[in-house]
A and B are shown apart, each in its own frame.
Chain A
Amino acid sequence: MKRQLGILFLMAGALLLTNCQKEYFNLDKLSDEVEIHPELIAPLFYGSLNIGDIVEYVDSAGYAREFDDGLIYLAYSDTVVNVMADTIEDIPNAVYTETYLSADVNIPEFTESNPGDIVHFLKNKIIAIQLDGDDRVDSIRIKGGEILLEVMSSFKHNGYVNISSEQILDPRGEPFFVTLVCSDESGVFEDSGRVLTDYYYIETFEKGDSNVIQIDFDLVLTNSGNPVDPDDICQIDLNFLDMGFYSLFGYIDSRNVFTERGSIEIPFYTENPELAAVKFADPRINVWITNSVGVPLVITMDSAISNGTDGSSVTLEFYEGHPFMVPAPGMTQIGSAVSEEFHINRETSNFNELLAVGPTSLSYKVSGRTQEGTGDESHFVLDTSRLIIEIEFLLPLDFRSTVIALEDTIEFEMGDQGIDTSMIRQVNLTMSTVNELPIKLDLQVYLLDEFYQVLDSVFGDNQVLLAASEVDQEGKLIQAGEEENTAIFPAEKLGKFEEIRYLQVHARMNTSELGSKDVKLYSDYSLDFKLSLFADLIINSRVL
């Protein structure tokens, strides 16, 4: 019995103790607040930017290109001159008149003839094709145009006139021959006719100092028995109208062919005036001339003036190679064009002075003349012949720069909420770069409030964002530059983001080795980057 009582005592004591442990199990008093302080380290983004791709992206206007070896250059080009053949030569309208006077008809063969007899009166006319100056025509393939034939006669006899020329061939190659009724017994006769001359061919022959053609006239009258009055006349006008040419062979005398003025805009400096400090190794103006006119020309560039961002200007002065002598295609190259390239660079001109002002535009005057004294007097011009002059302001990205300082202020606003720092103790963003560009970049971003007062900065002082690559003596890549930077954002700094209204970006760039040597930018250079995150967080259920 004692034993049983003991057991009961033990059980009662246990119940009492159980009651004491209730404090652990009264879930009504359980706080639901949960808070952990995890750290998070993770890669965020990575990528590789190819310089060629960057340039293509930035250069929406298409100013950037690359040489065969991949060296990038900027080119601002313009077509200065585009001259058609008719600017150089044209065929003016002309009138050639042949007249039969009474004296020409009142000759024994006619006066002694009987009524009804037919008498021929032959005449010919030597004419020269009229062009400018001392131009000489050897042959022309006519394009379009017409020969208007006008006849007026007061002879009181029926008759007609045959007009022909061995130097004028129709498109079938037959000599020119036209018959016109030119007279009747009334003594009052007028008539006209026209011959369309497209693709007619005229070939002159030398006579004296001129190249001419001969036109033959055969007036045929049937004796009506009426007399020939002293003032009777028969006049035949040949009007050469609206003639162009498919081809013209001969000699084009020396003269001014064109004068053009224009301007090339250079946005590179307009948009980035700071880059005037960049020293380019091989800047140049390329002049491309394409000539399919069978006449050698002389091109002169006058008054080439670069206009700087500060309002200053520099006139381009040539040391050599100017004016530009433009050859012409030879007789074996008819229909083809010859091209010639001329370079204006630091050796041939004061180009350095021109670039030093950071030219935003280049204004110019270009004129062209046919060359004199070449000894070759066989020229030709086709209707398709033209002269094209293009200018290319070219900046190969082979350069050096000690310091380029860029600064920009941009609007920035996180919104009313800013960044909720209740869950963040610190955030570190680490950027690792492998840079094949021979450019070092120091970057600082200042956080400004609405009054442009500096609240804080993103990076530490003198922080290098990109290390320049190592280059050889030719400015080519040897070893990429590697850099790792961490931007630290403690909660205090993140808390300021709510006040930020502007970001002021300060960037300082220089080329490899502090700009002491020229470096080249090739399109296959890349910039690899990797961004990673470290976050020290507070996650509390009360603030979620």
Chain B
Amino acid sequence: MKSLYKFILSIGILAGFGIEAGAQVSNSLYFMQGVPQTNRINPAYQPGCDLYIGIPFLAPVRTEETSSPYAWSDLIYPHPTQDSLITFLHPLGDKEAFLNKLKPTNYFLSNSGTSWLSVGFRTEVGFFSVDVTTRFDGSLYVPGDLGVLLINGTEDGKTYNLDGLSTDWMGFDEVSVGWSGAIVDNLNIGVRGKVLFGVGNIATVNSNLSLTTSQDSWHILSDMHFAASLPFADVTYDEEGKISDIALKDEVEDLDPWQLPKYAFNTRNFGLGIDLGIEYRPTDNLLLSASLLDVGYIKWTDETHEMTYKTEYDFPGFEIDPLEISDDFTFENYLDSAFNQIGDSLSGFLEFAPGGVYSRKLNTKLYVGASYSVTPEINFGLLSRTDFLTGQIAESVTASANFAVGQWLNLTLSYSYIHSYFKNVGAGFSIHTGPFNLYVISDNALNLVFWPQDTRAVNVWLGVNLIFGCKDIYRDRPLVY
């Protein structure tokens, strides 16, 4: 039982680690040399080889988990006097510190993806790339007052602002075609067009919720709207129009290979997107660049369902007529009845509706960077990344040092400010041996080594490619990639 508890706790913490950035993108990759998939971050980027072919599902496989308020050590830390670990909820845990780290809105992001197909080749008119990627983006937004409410309870006369309590989960397949070319000698531009096929989605369209507590009444003000597209599930409504059951469709549960493509490339959940990039080299040593990624949306129309919860409810207590209490109608009977009435009242505001059409935009990201080459083997980069999340803007800054060790190894070390957290030290390497290319990059690699307990975000990119036509290019490569 204890093991189960710890397992659940661990999973909960890990799952809650989400985010920030909204996409499974490593900042350190931006200035990394020798990685073909760098063009995912800046479409203007041209890999150093004439041709690359990504190994399916490994070019790349990537994940990123981020928690805006907490690191592991905020939740679990050593017992002050004993050889054991305690959580912040332990009697000796520092709950006040836990609450102090909460911001008005806190988010947990989970993004992962893998490419079925990743191919790039150079032509006379520029560099083309084709990718088919399955992406899964999830986010959970938690207002800080919710934590205060759950841990400290209710305070007289206080309003708990729970606006923004929401979650968004989106799984989709992305088919993209990119091009990068030189407009003039020192200016490259790039563009990637994306066709998106939504697999499933749970979205928070609107989330306004507040609770005011006092000894006179509890006041609930709610205007919440959720939408979902669940083509892979059978959703059953009861007589009152409420969802009574959700079950995977048999053909999905059986992983029927003939049926899965219609879910993977579901044209009824169709979307479009575009990535834009630019690189400008004002001098031989200096490279200025910028990219705008994931400008797009998916229009969800297949097996959609909506749920709204809109109410202004005042609970002044249970209305009681003591004269009604009798042997035939006891106080227990009364309480049962009262609770049922309140439950019915509150659930009565919950409305479900099948059908409907809604759109969800992708979380757009803006990169602006500059790198300076000290020698052909060494350059230093500075990158600003801005994530446009749901009702939030998240900013991170990364400084990196990139090294080329001969023809076969590229290294990068990075330092990032992410989610108001300064101790993000990343690293990555890319090995090139013959036609094989292997790279592993993380913005937090050294966090995991030196202070994993303080890490708020973890991202990892791993890729394996077959690359061709690189020899001359390596020899003649520009100072900075």
A and B co-occur in one complex: yes
CB distance from B405 to the nearest CB of A (A): 7
A61: interface (CB < 8 Å): no
B316: interface (CB < 8 Å): yes
Q: Beyond A24-B452, A39-B155, A430-B215, list 8 extra A-B contacts (CB 8 Å).
A: A18-B452, A21-B453, A36-B89, A39-B152, A41-B214, A43-B215, A43-B316, A531-B317
Task: Produce 1/0 per residue, A27-50, CB < 8 A to B.
Answer: 111111111111111111111010
- Cα–Cα, bound, A42→B213 (Å): 7
Q: Are A43 and B85 in contact (CB under 8 A)?
A: no
Which residues of B have CB within 8 Å of A26?
85
Q: Are B452 and A21 in contact (CB under 8 A)?
A: yes
B313: interface (CB < 8 Å): no
Q: Are A47 and B320 in contact (CB under 8 A)?
A: yes
CB distance from A72 to the nearest CB of B (A): 16
Q: Which of B72, B155, B315 contacts A24 (CB 8 A)?
A: B72
Q: Number of B interface residues, CB 8 Å?
A: 51
Q: Are B449 and A46 in contact (CB under 8 A)?
A: no
The 8 closest A-B pairs by CB, nearest first: A38-B153, A43-B317, A532-B215, A14-B449, A24-B453, A34-B89, A39-B153, A35-B91
- Cα–Cα, bound, A530→B217 (Å): 10
B238: interface (CB < 8 Å): no
CB within 8 Å of A: which B385-412 residues: 405, 411
Which residues of A have CB within 8 Å of B343?
none
Which residues of B have CB within 8 Å of A35?
89-91
A451: interface (CB < 8 Å): no
Task: Produce 1/0 per residue, B304-344, CB < 8 A to A.
Answer: 00000000000111111111000000000000000000000
Q: Can you report 19 A-B residue pairs in the complex whose CB atoms are below 8 A from each other?
A: A14-B450, A24-B76, A29-B83, A30-B76, A31-B79, A37-B152, A38-B151, A38-B153, A40-B154, A42-B213, A43-B214, A43-B215, A43-B217, A43-B315, A43-B316, A46-B319, A49-B322, A54-B323, A430-B215
Known contacts A27-B85, A35-B91; decide if A45 and B320 are in contact (CB<8 Å).
yes
- Cα–Cα, bound, A530→B73 (Å): 45
B225: interface (CB < 8 Å): no
B244: interface (CB < 8 Å): no
B256: interface (CB < 8 Å): no
- Cα–Cα, bound, A532→B90 (Å): 30
Which residues of A have CB within 8 Å of B317?
42-46, 530-532
B6: interface (CB < 8 Å): yes
Q: Are B154 and A41 in contact (CB under 8 A)?
A: yes
Give A contacts to B, CB under 8 Å.
3-4, 7, 14-15, 17-18, 21, 23-47, 49, 53-54, 57, 430, 530-534, 537, 540
- Cα–Cα, bound, A542→B387 (Å): 43
Q: Which of B87, B91, B215, B411 contacts A41 (CB 8 A)?
A: B215
Which residues of A have CB within 8 Å of B79?
31
B441: interface (CB < 8 Å): no
Residue of B nearest to A428 (CB): B215
Which residues of B have CB within 8 Å of A39?
152-155
Which residues of B have CB within 8 Å of A30?
6, 9, 76, 84-87
Q: Are B320 and A27 in contact (CB under 8 A)?
A: no
Which residues of B have CB within 8 Å of A44?
317-318
Q: Are A21 and B91 in contact (CB under 8 A)?
A: no
CB distance from B340 to the nearest CB of A (A): 16
Which residues of B have CB within 8 Å of A537?
153
- Cα–Cα, bound, A30→B4 (Å): 12
- Cα–Cα, bound, A531→B316 (Å): 10
Give B contacts to A, CB under 8 Å.
2, 5-6, 9-10, 72-73, 76-79, 83-87, 89-91, 95, 150-156, 213-218, 315-323, 405, 411, 446, 448-453
Known contacts A39-B152, A43-B315; decide if A25 and B320 are in contact (CB<8 Å).
no
Q: Are B449 and A33 in contact (CB under 8 A)?
A: no
Which residues of B have CB within 8 Å of A430?
215
Which residues of A have CB within 8 Å of B320?
45-47
- Cα–Cα, bound, A28→B9 (Å): 12
CB distance from A69 to the nearest CB of B (A): 23
- Cα–Cα, bound, A32→B73 (Å): 16
Which residues of A have CB within 8 Å of B215?
41-43, 430, 532-534
Known contacts A530-B317, A540-B91; decide if A32 and B2 are in contact (CB<8 Å).
yes
Residue of B nearest to A11 (CB): B449
Which residues of B have CB within 8 Å of A25?
72, 452-453
Q: Are A34 and B153 in contact (CB under 8 A)?
A: no
Q: Are B91 and A32 in contact (CB under 8 A)?
A: no
CB distance from A415 to the nearest CB of B (A): 15
Which residues of B have CB within 8 Å of A15?
449
CB distance from A430 to the nearest CB of B (A): 6
Residue of A nearest to B86 (CB): A31
Q: Which of A7, A29, A36, A57 contacts B411 (CB 8 A)?
A: A7
CB distance from A57 to the nearest CB of B (A): 4
Q: Are A32 and B6 in contact (CB under 8 A)?
A: yes
Q: Which of B73, B77, B152, B449 contacts A18 (CB 8 A)?
A: B449
Which residues of A have CB within 8 Å of B321?
47, 49
CB distance from A326 to the nearest CB of B (A): 43
Q: Are A33 and B91 in contact (CB under 8 A)?
A: yes
Q: Which of B6, B73, B77 contacts A27 (CB 8 A)?
A: B6
- Cα–Cα, bound, A4→B6 (Å): 41
- Cα–Cα, bound, A179→B317 (Å): 93
- Cα–Cα, bound, A43→B315 (Å): 8
- Cα–Cα, bound, A44→B95 (Å): 28
CB distance from A8 to the nearest CB of B (A): 12
- Cα–Cα, bound, A37→B92 (Å): 12
Which residues of A have CB within 8 Å of B83?
29
Which residues of B have CB within 8 Å of A34?
87, 89-90
- Cα–Cα, bound, A57→B86 (Å): 58
Which residues of B have CB within 8 Å of A37?
152
Q: Are A49 and B87 in contact (CB under 8 A)?
A: no
Q: Which of A4, A27, A29 contacts B405 (CB 8 A)?
A: A4
CB distance from A43 to the nearest CB of B (A): 3
Residue of B nearest to A35 (CB): B91
Q: Are B95 and A36 in contact (CB under 8 A)?
A: yes
Which residues of A have CB within 8 Å of B213?
41-42
Residue of B nearest to A7 (CB): B411
Q: Are B449 and A36 in contact (CB under 8 A)?
A: no
Which residues of B have CB within 8 Å of A24?
72-73, 76-78, 85, 452-453
Which residues of A have CB within 8 Å of B453?
21, 24-25
CB distance from A464 to the nearest CB of B (A): 19
Which residues of B have CB within 8 Å of A28?
6
Which residues of B have CB within 8 Å of A21?
450-453
Q: Are A41 and B156 in contact (CB under 8 A)?
A: yes
Which residues of B have CB within 8 Å of A47?
319-322
CB distance from A233 to the nearest CB of B (A): 83
- Cα–Cα, bound, A58→B16 (Å): 59
Which residues of A have CB within 8 Å of B87?
30-31, 34
Which residues of A have CB within 8 Å of B95?
36
Known contacts A21-B451, A24-B72, A57-B323; decide if A46 and B156 are in contact (CB<8 Å).
no
Which residues of A have CB within 8 Å of B452?
18, 21, 24-25
Which residues of A have CB within 8 Å of B72?
24-25
Q: Are B6 and A43 in contact (CB under 8 A)?
A: no
Which residues of A have CB within 8 Å of B5?
32
Which residues of B have CB within 8 Å of A530?
216, 316-317
Q: Are B85 and A40 in contact (CB under 8 A)?
A: no
Which residues of B have CB within 8 Å of A4?
405
Residue of B nearest to A14 (CB): B449
- Cα–Cα, bound, A29→B323 (Å): 56
- Cα–Cα, bound, A34→B452 (Å): 24
Residue of A nearest to B450 (CB): A17
Residue of B nearest to A48 (CB): B321
- Cα–Cα, bound, A28→B151 (Å): 25
- Cα–Cα, bound, A32→B152 (Å): 20
Q: Are B152 and A38 in contact (CB under 8 A)?
A: yes
Q: Are A43 and B218 in contact (CB under 8 A)?
A: yes
Residue of A nearest to B4 (CB): A32
Known contacts A23-B78, A38-B153; decide if A53 and B216 are in contact (CB<8 Å).
no
CB distance from A428 to the nearest CB of B (A): 9
